[in-house]
Structure 1
Amino acid sequence: MAAEDAVALKNKGNEAFKAKDWPSAIEWYDKAIEANPNEPSFYTNRAQAHIKMEAYGYAIADATKAIELNPDFVKAYYRRAVANTAILKHGDAIHDWKVVVRKNPSDKLAKTQYDACQKMVKRDAFLKAIEVADAPSAAEGLDLDSMVVEEAYDGVRLKDTMTKEFIEDMIERFKTGKKIHKKYVFQIILAVKDLVYNEPTMVETHVKDDEKITVCGDTHGQYFDLLEIFRLNGFPSEKHHYLFNGDFVDRGSWSTEVALLLYSYKWLYPNTFFLNRGNHETDDMNRMYGFEGECKAKYTERVFKLFSESFSALPLATLIGDKYFVLHGGLFSDDETSLDDIRKLNRHGQRQPGQSGLMMEMLWTDPQTAPGRGPSKRGVGLQFGPDVTKRFCEKNGLEAIIRSHEVRMEGYEVEHDGRCITVFSAPKYCDSTENKGAFINIESDLKLQYTQFDAVPHPDIKPMAYANNGMMSMMGM
C-alpha cells in the first residue's frame, strides 16, 4: 500500500478524533499503522486516542515505539509522560518531561508539568515516610455536639437521622451551587462510614416480587447527570433499590455533591441502597484527579480525610439474586478465586488497594476479547478473556458479572458471550467523549433491562477544575 494511502487512513482517524469518537479513531490509526508501520506520528496519534480512552498502558507502548523509530520525536516523549503521570508513575514520567523540556525549552506547559511532576515525586516520598499503619481517625476530637448551625443557615436542618426532606432540599441547594452546613457533612460521612464498615466485603441481596434494583456504573462527579438518572428512572425508595458500582468521585467537578447525595441515600435506606468501592475511591487517585482539591475548596481537608476513611470501608462487590456478581473492575489472575474468597477477604486490613492482590484486581482489571489473560491496557492490573469469565461464572453458579470502570460509547456493552456486562453512567464523560450513559434495571425475574441516556447541561465549570497539577490541560480537556 502506498504511503499516501496510509496518510489517508490516518486522516480518517484524525476526523474521528475531532468528533470525539475515540474507538473509531483508534481503528483508523490501526489501519494506517498496518499500511505503514514505520511512521512515528501514527503511533503518537493512536497514543493520544488511547489516553482519551484511559488505556494508558497502550499509550505508553505506542509512544515507546514512536521513540524507537525517531529518538528525537518530542511529541512521543510528551505522550508517554502524560500516560505515566495518569497512572501515577511519576518517577517514570519525570524522565520524559525532562527530555521534552530539554528538546523544546520554549514549551511553557511542559516546563510546568516537569515542575509539577518533581513536586509529586517528592510528595509521594514524603507521604510514604510519614505513613503510619494505625493512624488515628480524622474523627478524633471532632465534637459535633458543640458545632453550631448558625441562625442564618437557610437549609433544612438535620437532626440524628436522615430524612427525605433534607435530601430534597440538599438536591436543590447543590443545583444552585450552594453547600450544606459543614456539621451536616461530617454527620453524613460518619454515619455512612459506620454503616458500610459493618457490611460484608461482598454484600448479598435479593429482589422481591414488588421490587427492583438499578445498577449504575461510574458517575465521576457528574452531579447533573446523576439527577437525570433519578429523573428518568425514579428516586431511591424502600421498593426501588440502587447499586452504584464505584467511581462516584474525581474528574467531574461536583464530586462532593455526588458523594454526599449517594451517602445521604445510603443513610436513609441502609438496607436497600448499595455502594461498591471503585479504583477512584482511593487516596492516590483522589490527590491526582481532583476530589481532594474539591473537598478542600468547598469544605475542609478534614472532610477529605473522613471521606478517605469511609471509602476504605466500602464493600468491594455485591451479589444480586445469587446470579449477578457486581464489582467495579473485573476478574482475577487466579482461576481458583471464588465468591467464597471474596466473602472471606478482610478489606479492613488494607485501606488502599496497592499494586497487587485481590483488592487491586477487583478495582482495576478489564475484559479482553482474546482468551486467557493479558497485560493491562491501562498499565495497572490485568485483562481477562471470555474463557476466564465462563469458568468463573460456571464455577460460582452465576449468570454474569456486571462491572464498570471503562467508558462505553453506548453506555453499556455485553461481552464474553453475554457473561460480562460493562455499565458506565457518566455520559459525555469529562465533557470530552461523545458517549451515552446507561443503567441496568433488574426485577424479580432477574432479567437485565438496559436504559441509555444522554448528558444534560450543567453550569460552566470544567472537569478536574479542582485538580491542582495541570492534569486538565495536559490531557487536552
Structure 2
Amino acid sequence: LCRMVAKIFEAEHRMLRISSPVFILGDLHGNFPDICCFERIFWGMGVHLSPARMLLLGDYVDRGSYGVELVAYLFAQKVRNPQKIFLIRGNHELRDIQKNFTFHGECMKKFGNEQGLSLWQEINKAFDCMPLAAVIDDKIFCCHGGIPAPWLCPHIDFIDKIPCPLPKPDEESSLAWDLLWNDPVREDKIEEDLEEELHENEGFALNRRRGTAHVFDTGALNRFLTNNKLSYLVRAHEVQQAGAQIHMNGKMVTVFSSSFYNGGNNDAACVLVFEKKLRIFRVDTSEFHKIRE
C-alpha cells in the first residue's frame, strides 16, 4: 500500500490544482475516531460517490494513538480514489519529528522492532513524495504551515520545482521547510525587536516559538495573495479551541480537525470551499470517542 500510494504522490505536482467543491481538513494526529466521524457526515456513501473532493493538510501522525490506522485508511482511500482525495505533507511527516514524538514508537509497539521499523520506513518513503501545497479554483492557497518567504518563493509556480522525493527538506529545500513550519505572527505579541525584524524582511521574521522557519504578518500575506492573484490562505499547524479560526482581516483560516487534542477539550472542524467561498463546519465527534472508550 505504501509503495502504491508513493507512486501516485510522486506523479502529482508539488502544488496541486483542485476544483471545488472541496472539504479541507487540518491536523488529525492519529485521531482515527475523528476521521470516522468526518466520513459518516461528509462522505458516508464513500469518497467515490461524494460530490466534493477532500484535501487534507498534513500532520496525520504523532500524539494520537492511531497513527498507523489513520495512515492506512488515508493511503487506501488515495489509491482507490486518486482524483477525489488529496493529501499534502505536514511537519510531522518527518522522521526526526516522529522519533521525538510518538509515531516511531507506535510502529515498534504495534508490530515489533523488526516489522515496526520496516513499516515506519515504508510509510515515511511515501511521506517523502507527498505534495506540499494546493490551490483551489485558482484563488485559495492551502498548505500545512504558512506562506513562504518571498526570497524563497517569488511566485507560487516555484513550489513545483521542489524535488521529489524529499527525505530531508531541512537540507534540500528551504521553500518546502517554510511551507511545513511557518506560522502567522501573533499580532498581540509583537515586541519592538520583532516589529523591526518584520519591517526589515518584508513582513517575515524568525519563528522563535518553533525554533525554525518564519512567522509572517498581515502585510506579507496580503502581498503574497496579490502577487499570485489569490484571495485566501487556508492552513493548519496550530490547534484551535473551536476547530477553526479566521485571522488577518478575514484572509486566512486556520483549521484543526483533531478533537480532544493531546488531552484537551477542543473541537474539530473542516472548511468547505464552494463557488470561491469558504464555509467552516464545527463537528461534534463526542459520540465516536464514546464508542472508542
Fold shared per TM-score above 0.5:
yes
Task: For residue 290 of structure 1, report the CA deviation from its aligned partner.
Answer: 1.3
In structure 2, what is the Cα distance between the partners aligned to 1:345 and 1:233?
A: 32
**Contact 1:281–1:308 (CA<8 Å) still a contact in 2?**
yes
In structure 2, what is the Cα distance between the partners aligned to 1:233 and 1:206?
A: 17
The structure 2 residue matched to 1:388, chosen from 220, 232, 235, is: 220
> For 1:426, what is the secondary structure of its paired residue?
coil
Corresponding residue of 2:235: 403
Task: For residue 419 of structure 1, report the CA deviation from its aligned partner.
Answer: 1.5
Corresponding residue of 1:332: 148
Task: Give 4+ residue runs of structure 1 displaced > 6 Å after superposition.
Answer: none
> For 2:48, what is the secondary structure of its paired residue?
coil
Q: Is 1:304 the counterpart of 2:120 in the alignment?
A: yes
Corresponding residue of 1:222: 31
Corresponding residue of 2:179: 362
Q: Is 1:262 the counterpart of 2:74 in the alignment?
A: yes
Task: For residue 271 of structure 1, report the CA deviation from its aligned partner.
Answer: 1.1
Task: For residue 345 of structure 1, report the CA deviation from its aligned partner.
Answer: 2.1
Which residue type is aligned with residue 249 of structure 2? D
The structure 2 residue matched to 1:319, chosen from 111, 126, 135, is: 135
Task: For residue 302 of structure 1, report the CA deviation from its aligned partner.
Answer: 0.9
In structure 1, what is the Cα distance between the partners aligned to 2:98 and 2:167?
A: 14
* Structure label with greater radius of gyration: 1
In structure 2, what is the Cα distance between the partners aligned to 1:410 and 1:380?
A: 27
> For 2:169, what is the secondary structure of its paired residue?
coil
> For 1:284, what is the secondary structure of its paired residue?
helix
Task: For residue 289 of structure 1, report the CA deviation from its aligned partner.
Answer: 1.3
Task: For residue 455 of structure 1, report the CA deviation from its aligned partner.
Answer: 3.9
Q: In the TM superposition, what whole-angstrom CA distance separates every residue of 1:34-69 from its partner, at most 9, and x where no partner exists? A: xxxxxxxxxxxxxxxxxxxxxxxxxxxxxxxxxxxx
**Contact 1:249–1:281 (CA<8 Å) still a contact in 2?**
yes
Corresponding residue of 2:105: 293
Q: What is the CA RMSD across the aligned residues, in angstroms?
A: 1.7
**Contact 1:347–1:359 (CA<8 Å) still a contact in 2?**
no
In structure 1, what is the Cα distance between the partners aligned to 2:164 and 2:236?
A: 20
Which residue type is aligned with residue 454 of structure 1? D
Q: Which runs of 5+ in 1 are unaligned?
A: 1-187, 461-477
Which residue type is aligned with residue 158 of structure 2? D
Task: For residue 249 of structure 1, report the CA deviation from its aligned partner.
Answer: 0.7
Matches within 5 A, 1:18-417: 188-207=1-20, 212-235=21-44, 236-238=47-49, 239-299=51-111, 300=115, 301-334=117-150, 337-348=154-165, 350-354=166-170, 357-368=174-185, 369=187, 372-376=203-207, 377-417=209-249
> For 1:354, what is the secondary structure of its paired residue?
helix
Identity rate, percent: 30
CA separation of 1:205/1:199 partners in 2, compared to 1, >3 Å: closer, same or farther? same
In structure 1, what is the Cα distance between the partners aligned to 2:270 and 2:204?
A: 28
Deviates more, 1:406-415 or 1:449-458: 449-458
**Contact 2:270–2:282 (CA<8 Å) still a contact in 1?**
yes
In structure 2, what is the Cα distance between the partners aligned to 1:316 and 1:347?
A: 10
Task: For residue 240 of structure 1, report the CA deviation from its aligned partner.
Answer: 2.6
In structure 1, what is the Cα distance between the partners aligned to 2:9 and 2:257?
A: 22
CA separation of 1:332/1:363 partners in 2, compared to 1, >3 Å: closer, same or farther? same
Corresponding residue of 1:442: 273
In structure 2, what is the Cα distance between the partners aligned to 1:446 and 1:265?
A: 26
Deviates more, 1:292-301 or 1:404-413: 292-301
Task: For residue 448 of structure 1, report the CA deviation from its aligned partner.
Answer: 0.9
Q: In the TM superposition, what whole-angstrom CA distance separates every residue of 1:362-420 from its partner, at most 9, and x where no partner exists? A: 10000012562233122221100000000000010111111100001111111111222
> For 2:128, what is the secondary structure of its paired residue?
helix
Task: For residue 244 of structure 1, report the CA deviation from its aligned partner.
Answer: 0.8
Task: For residue 440 of structure 1, report the CA deviation from its aligned partner.
Answer: 0.7
Q: Is 1:424 the counterpart of 2:252 in the alignment?
A: no
> For 1:397, what is the secondary structure of its paired residue?
coil
Which residue type is aligned with residue 135 of structure 2? L
Task: For residue 296 of structure 1, report the CA deviation from its aligned partner.
Answer: 2.3
Task: For residue 307 of structure 1, report the CA deviation from its aligned partner.
Answer: 0.3
> For 1:204, what is the secondary structure of its paired residue?
strand
TM-score (norm 1): 0.54
> For 1:237, what is the secondary structure of its paired residue?
helix
Q: Which one has the bigger strand percentage?
A: 2
> For 2:5, what is the secondary structure of its paired residue?
helix
**Contact 2:10–2:164 (CA<8 Å) still a contact in 1?**
no
**Contact 1:317–1:326 (CA<8 Å) still a contact in 2?**
yes
Q: Which has the higher contact order (CA 8 A, sep 6+)?
A: 2
In structure 1, what is the Cα distance between the partners aligned to 2:40 and 2:76?
A: 17
Task: For residue 272 of structure 1, report the CA deviation from its aligned partner.
Answer: 1.5
Task: For residue 281 of structure 1, report the CA deviation from its aligned partner.
Answer: 0.4
Which residue type is aligned with residue 364 of structure 1? W
Matched length? 266
In structure 2, what is the Cα distance between the partners aligned to 1:455 and 1:201?
A: 32
Which residue type is aligned with residue 40 of structure 2? R
